[in-house]
Structure 1
Amino acid sequence: MILTAFRLPRRQKSPGRILLPIAALVCFLAALDLRQPRILSGDPSGRIVLVTTHVPVDLKWNSEHLGPQIRTVFEKIDEAIRRKAQLVILPESVLPLFLNREPSLLQPLRQRARKIDIVLGALYLTSDRQNRNSAYLFHDGSYQVADKAVLVPFGEANPLPDWAGRWINRIFFDGAPDYRPAAHPGTFTIEGRKYRIGVCYEGTSERLYTDWPKHLILLSNNGWFHPSVEPTLQRLLLEYYARKYGTTIWHSVNMAPSYMIQAKW
């Protein structure tokens, strides 16, 4: 009886011995973060086509190379239509011009948008002559625009005071004016689904993710950094935000592979 009395407390402690390693295992698995997103070369459903282009920067803004770039855009859209896709996404500045001032291009894009939704990058010129780096959505014969909200310091907008900014632009950028940012990130609704819209650099800014968007379309021109590790660093940051906010990202790129980052929740 005495021996039994001494053994009982030990038996009552045994559940703790089991729970402790289980708790440790749970903490270990949590540290591994099982929500690691998947990197895919394209949308597995086939409904969304991600276009990759291969235009070096020295040709991107060369007027003699504008014609081939325009032809490539329409060839990629027509190919996506033949594949019966619902949406085709093309990179940042895939049309390196103020698209809203080009009726000869807007008309055929609107016509094709009766067969497929189109998201592409181009410039936008406001009524007061401000330059915008933008994404265009063509849908059912019409279009809408989402302007870039987070600009590249010095590359797109000078963070210095106006007098210093004008001097820097004159010396280093041939007097080119700064782009103007949108007040807030843009969103397109496509087939009933809301997509946050990002253009290149701003896709690596947490500002695009703070309201936990489930879907994001990102357009990039990585030709500025070719060859370099920039596309890899960009992808790692996108993976981080996809994991942190549960955001699935469709990324169309110039001068680097396009891909989809599928969030896991």
Structure 2
Amino acid sequence: MKKNLQQHTSNKTYNFLKLFFTTCKTEHFIILRHATTYLHITSLLQALFCYPFYIFHPRLLFKIMQGHTKQMLPTQSTKKYTKLKATLHKALIGMFFGFLFWLPFWWFILESIMPPLLYGILCFLLMCFVLYVCTTFVCLQIETRNKKLCKMSAYCTKRHIVDMALPYFIVFMVLCICIFSLLHKNIYIGVSLFYPLSIAIFLFIPRMYRFWFGFFIGVFGFYWIALALRFVESLSLLTPFIIVCVGIIYGVLLWILLYFQNLAWRITMAALLFIIHPFDFNWLNLAYLSSYSVFEASLISLLCIAFSYYFIIVKSALQLLAPLLLLISLEYGTTKHTPKLHAKIIETQYPQDMRWEKVNWESIIANNLEAIQQAIDEGYPLVILPETSFPLVLNAQTELYNTLLDLSKHITIVVGAIRMQSIESVNTHTKRSSLFMLDSLKQRDKHLDSIEESYINMPTMQNGYYNSVYIFSKGYSLIADKNILVPFGETLPFNVILSPLFKKIFGNDFGFNKGHEIISFSTQSLHVAIANCYEGTMTLPYTTGAKYILMLSNNAWFYPSTQSFMQQMIIKYYARSFQSFVYHSTNYTPTAIITPNNGKD
């Protein structure tokens, strides 16, 4: 009897879990799934995004809004195709939504490359189109229910208002974005409009397309990772293969994250992108797309928008929470902050293959020293040069090193170069203090003397090459090794396993060694931290408490590509989140001072 009872309980639990699992896979809601405005899983996606594409076909649009377009849905048509054609069909849909997902990013690129007049015309056309869509959207809803409305009881009228919530919410969102864009003088109206679109695509895309959706998110967003291999002769042929691998990695990631259709699960996965970083690469994060928008650059703002979608499709009073959450997600501070750090940011234009040829080193060194001298003549207290501005092992070049030490008596120099750690090398560095003073004589005497002792090689350090930033000031120097390396460009995924294999096949090592900590210091009475390229797109330098980040990049590795634009968007996100100023010195792309202000820097 007891055994039968346990078996019955076990079967009941199993059936419950099975039902729960199946429900989460296919439904937006677990309990309230039958009390939603749109019953099938693709309808909200159609209402939000398919509408513009059917705008000149009102009859079809009417069917979409009524949820009676079963023959038009991809899930029905795939049954008529062969397996190959069905796969290609899914890939096409995934590619379409993968492209739409990056719309805020595409708009940011357009603003950056288009003439102001042409961009202004494009913004005007976008606003006209959006307002037309919103007006037609609401009018269509009113027209379809107009005949029934006059005969409705009070209860039915209330229900009609609930059904009308979605189109009115979309109009409300557009109006809020327009008003706040004017308040902030934010010219990136497309970024603000398309950011909620990207969130909605992530939340509502049917699970059957999730692999191809992720694949094309990876290909469209991160294809440039493989471009670094162009400059390694033995690896250049692998470039297309790496691009496909990047797509597969993100396809598998999104296949897992979007496995359940349940909205609570999808919102949780959107939040987990803050900590899920394949191979330590963190550039896929929905919140980064808000960088130049009127929304707060934060996880809270992202969750507010996501939950506003959650509540707006529920047929209950909870719909009233949707506009409230949307208002919370917007940024209200309109104060413009100005940077106080006085520095000259150097931009260089050296192709990567040119930098590697030793015959060009002499001219590169001469140009760098000339730029430093010019900054001294112009009265700057600080000069910043790009990552690996000196494309050589700087701590092995005694004459050049001493020249920089002499120049540092007149100006603080922050410059990128290679560092070699070995028994014979000198001027290597093991940092003891996370903060030391450059401008205070008292603190300089206290800290720099102790730091100077650690210039001689320490046997505990790992021998090899480091991508480093050298700081020269008052005749002293400090070295910041790069802590986080770019996958495939500076290190291999699963480096412990793949590095020996790579060396065995190609006969040489791949990439650099990692540093151990972020260097921060004080100059001009301001707290400053060093970020070597990729580090500036992570929280590491910002969590030091420094409000000024000196970031050095060599974007020639990935030029021409969209990499530098994405890099700038992510830097802007962290600048706004941590209220920091980022002084970005680059090779082959424009330099910038990225501020925490809303909109254009």
- Alignment TM class, shorter chain as reference: 0.7 to 0.9
Matched, 1:142 2:437: no
Distance 2:414 2:537 in 1: 20
SS of 2:529's equivalent in the other structure is: strand
Matched, 1:162 2:457: no
Task: Select which of 60, 67, 85 maps to 2:380.
Answer: 85
Corresponding residue number in structure 1 for 2:533: 200
Q: 2:577, 2:596 within 8 Å by CA — same for their partners in 1?
A: no
CA displacement, residues 120-175 of structure 1 (integer Å, 9 cap, x when unaligned): 00011123532111111110111111111111123222232534322134546x51
Distance 1:127 1:84 in 2: 38
Q: Which runs of 4+ in 1 moved over 6 A?
A: 24-29, 36-39, 43-46
The share of aligned pairs that are identical, in percent, is: 32
Corresponding residue number in structure 1 for 2:365: 70
Higher mean alpha-carbon deviation, 58-67 vs 158-167, is at 158-167
Distance 2:531 2:505 in 1: 30
**Could you tell me how far 1:221 is from its partner in structure 2?**
0.1
CA displacement, residues 157-207 of structure 1 (integer Å, 9 cap, x when unaligned): 2232534322134546x5135411111222233233221111111211223
Q: 2:499, 2:509 within 8 Å by CA — same for their partners in 1?
A: no
Distance 1:86 1:185 in 2: 22
Largest Rg, 1 or 2: 2
**Could you tell me how far 1:112 is from its partner in structure 2?**
0.9
Q: TM-score, normalised by structure 2?
A: 0.37
Distance 1:169 1:152 in 2: 19
Corresponding residue number in structure 2 for 1:121: 416
Corresponding residue number in structure 1 for 2:561: 228
Cα pair distance change 1:122/1:166, threshold 3 Å: same
Task: Select which of 330, 340, 353 maps to 1:32.
Answer: 330
Q: 2:347, 2:588 within 8 Å by CA — same for their partners in 1?
A: yes
SS of 1:202's equivalent in the other structure is: helix
Distance 2:386 2:364 in 1: 12
Higher mean alpha-carbon deviation, 145-154 vs 177-186, is at 177-186
SS of 1:120's equivalent in the other structure is: strand
Q: 2:387, 2:587 within 8 Å by CA — same for their partners in 1?
A: yes
Task: Select which of 519, 522, 540 maps to 1:186.
Answer: 519
CA displacement, residues 201-249 of structure 1 (integer Å, 9 cap, x when unaligned): 1211223323443111100000011111111000000000001111110
Distance 1:115 1:61 in 2: 30
Matched, 1:105 2:400: yes
Distance 1:29 1:211 in 2: 31
Q: What residue identity is the alignment partner of 1:208?
A: P
Cα pair distance change 1:35/1:256, threshold 3 Å: farther
Q: Which has the higher helix share?
A: 2
Matched, 1:176 2:474: no
SS of 1:207's equivalent in the other structure is: coil
Distance 1:51 1:161 in 2: 33
Cα pair distance change 1:160/1:25, threshold 3 Å: closer
Cα pair distance change 1:200/1:161, threshold 3 Å: closer
Cα pair distance change 1:255/1:85, threshold 3 Å: same
Higher relative contact order (CA 8 A, sep 6+): 1
Distance 2:495 2:481 in 1: 23
Q: 2:389, 2:415 within 8 Å by CA — same for their partners in 1?
A: yes
Unaligned runs of 5+ in 2: 1-321, 424-462
Q: CA RMSD in A?
A: 2.7
Distance 2:334 2:393 in 1: 39
Q: 1:37, 1:239 within 8 Å by CA — same for their partners in 2?
A: no
Q: 1:187, 1:197 within 8 Å by CA — same for their partners in 2?
A: yes
Distance 2:464 2:533 in 1: 20
Q: What residue identity is the alignment partner of 1:31?
A: S
Q: Which has the higher strand share?
A: 1
Q: 2:341, 2:524 within 8 Å by CA — same for their partners in 1?
A: no
Cα pair distance change 1:161/1:235, threshold 3 Å: closer
Matched, 1:51 2:385: no
CA displacement, residues 29-48 of structure 1 (integer Å, 9 cap, x when unaligned): 65332458989xxx976831
Q: What residue identity is the alignment partner of 2:556?
A: G
Aligned residues: 238
